Amino acid sequence: MKVKVISRSTDEFTRERSQDLQRVFRNFDPKLRPQEKAVEYVRALNAAKLEKIFARPFIGAMDGHIDAISCMAKNPNFLKGIFSGSMDGDIRLWDIASRKTVCQFPGHQGAVRGLTASTDGSTLISCGTDCTVRIWSVPVAATLESDHASNKPIEANAVYVGKNAYWAVDHQWGGDLFATTGARVEIWNHNRSQPVNTFEWGTDTVISVRFNPGEPNLLATSASDRSIALYDLRMSTPARKLIMQTRTNSIAWNPMEPLNFTAANEDCSCYSYDARKLDEAKCVHKDHVSAVMDIDYSPTGREFVTGSYDRTVRIFPYNGGHSREIYHTKRMQRVFCVKFSSDASYIISGSDDTNLRLWKAKASEQMGVLLPREQKKHEYQEAVKNRYKHLPEVKRIVRHRHLPRPIYKAKELRRTVIDAEKKKEERRKAHSTPGSIVTESVRKRRIIREVE
């Protein structure tokens, strides 16, 4: 007879010295784990609740301006700094870590409408309603030693005066050209005092401009005549124009998929387009209850942040129709500009109440260096919560956000209006010959036409 019995020697299964790690043996057989789904569900519920407990997105406010903040600019070479310009002409460079002003750039007489930094981070360009474009050199020493904190005013390198007020400015990625908009789109070089090139299409003011991060010669602008126009610098004529039903306040290109851009519109939604196919929106992002003022993409290209006239900041997934997060404070008034920090962890919002506010991109994220065990635990919690987030109990906790009363009411009202319109449309369809009334898809509905 052949016999073999389980016999485990203690040395094989325990550690030799107390400095060694404990030995771990695995058997993934489902039979050893009764009720594993119930355990996972309980863990998902607890993970959702813990996430809500640790959700503290607001980090701090940067106080200093004395008028509403109209524009912000990120420094591509320096993670800790952000430029902000206000309605009284005050431009400041902030150190985000200490939330203090590093230096100021006085000079503008009226509101500063546009701010942008060159790709190497050494030059700052600003434009305003006093018809001037000013070029500043960013003090490198000041940015490195932020505790120097001297509010030393800096002299402008150059001041270029134009004929009309300027509305926006943006710098080319990797090149040395920048574009300003106002009455028309003008392309400048740093050294020349006159624009190198001018584009004009129609007679309305162009209110925002953005260069494409992947294709440095491509830029998108939005104008007062409710249009979005694409320009190519290599051609001397504008490329393509898209006319919508309402005005676009701001445009942002997706840094990971540079052919796609998202436009923040006056009709409370954001429209994502593929630049090659402008006759239909790729995605419509609806959640705001008032005009969307500014939009910025995360460097991961997977989500973007929007600031709106309804005093809230929302974060949307790049392909999702609804926001995954909303930030609001009693003290934050109309949000005019938002920026996603270059490490995709923070959001900076500039608003009407003269403050810049720093928020976390993921509200319950633990900041700082995480141990590998902590990281694994966070990843596991996230994964198990995502597995069960469609079930009612977990969904209720994950989805829950406190909304300020006016926004809640406005949302309800919009919901009622939309439902009523839908019902009317359905009834009209039901009472007319089949096929006579065609509903247009949401993605096409707001577009009037595309012009070559």
Partner 1 sequence: MGLEEEAGGSAKILPPTEQELSAELDTKLQKYLRGEGADLEALKDKKLKGQLFVREKLYGNSAKAAAKFEKGGYLEAEGVEKTWRIKQDQLTREVDILSSRNQYDIVLKDLGPYTLDFTPSGRYMATAGRKGHVAIVDMKSMELIREMQVKETVYPYIYNRDGIELHCLKEHGAVSRLQFLKNHFLLASINKFGRTETMQINPYNGVVAVGHSAGTVSMWKPTSAAPLVKMLCHHGPISALAFHPNGHLMASCGREKKIKIWDLRKFEVVQTIPGHHAKTLDFSQKGLLAAGTGSYAQVLGDFSGTQNYSRYMGHSIAKGYQIGKVSFRPYEDVLVMGHSMGWSSILIPGSGEPNFDTWVANPFETSEQRREKEIHSLLDKLPPETIMLDPSKIGTLRPYKKREKPTKEEIEAEKEAAVESVKDIALKKKTKGRNKTSKRVMKRKVLIDKAKKPFLEKQMLEEGKVAGKKRNLGEETELPASLKRFVRKKAAV
Read off the tokens for 31. 């039979």
Residue with Cβ nearer partner 1 (28 or 236): 28
Residue with Cβ nearer partner 1 (10 or 436): 10
Residue with Cβ nearer partner 1 (29 or 440): 29
Among 104, 90, 86, smallest CA distance to 142 is for 104
CB of 276 to partner 1, least distance (A): 20
Note whether 337 and 347 are within 8 A (CB).
Answer: no
Read off the tokens for 391. 């079930």
CB of 437 to partner 1, least distance (A): 24
124-153: contacts with partner 1 (CB under 8 A): none
Q: Give CA separation, 188 vs 156, 167, 233, in Å.
A: 17, 15, 11
x-marked contacts with partner 1 along 373-392 as a string, rule CB under 8 A? --------------xx-xx-
Among 133, 202, 203, 217, smallest CA distance to 172 is for 217
Q: Is residue 13 part of the contact set for partner 1 (CB under 8 A)?
A: yes
- Which amino acid is residue 359, in one-letter code? W
Residue with Cβ nearer partner 1 (41 or 58): 41
Q: Is residue 10 part of the contact set for partner 1 (CB under 8 A)?
A: yes
Q: What region, left, alpha or beta, does residue 378 occupy, with left being phi > 0 and alpha being psi -120 to 50 degrees?
A: alpha
Stretch that binds partner 1, among 3-11, 177-185, 260-268, 441-449 (CB under 8 A): 3-11
Angle, CA 381 vertex, CA 377 and CA 387 arms, to 5°: 145
Note whether 236 and 198 are within 8 A (CB).
Answer: no
Among 263, 178, 186, 168, smallest CA distance to 216 is for 178
CB of 38 to partner 1, least distance (A): 4
Residue in the structure block whose two tokens are 């919508």? 244
21-80: contacts with partner 1 (CB under 8 A): 22-35, 37-43, 46
Among 38, 39, 41, 37, smallest CA distance to 395 is for 41
Q: Which helix (H) or strand (E) holds 411?
A: helix 405-430
285-344: contacts with partner 1 (CB under 8 A): 319
Residue with Cβ nearer partner 1 (32 or 141): 32
170-229: contacts with partner 1 (CB under 8 A): none
DSSP annotation of 277: B
CB of 387 to partner 1, least distance (A): 8
Q: What is the distance between the alpha carbons of residues 415 and 407, in angstroms, rounded to a whole number? A: 12
CB of 309 to partner 1, least distance (A): 30
Q: Is residue 16 part of the contact set for partner 1 (CB under 8 A)?
A: no
Residue with Cβ nearer partner 1 (18 or 236): 18
CB of 269 to partner 1, least distance (A): 19
- Total residues contacting partner 1 by CB under 8 A comes to 39
- Which stretches of the chain bind partner 1, using CB under 8 A? 1-10, 13-14, 22-35, 37-43, 46, 319, 387-388, 390-391
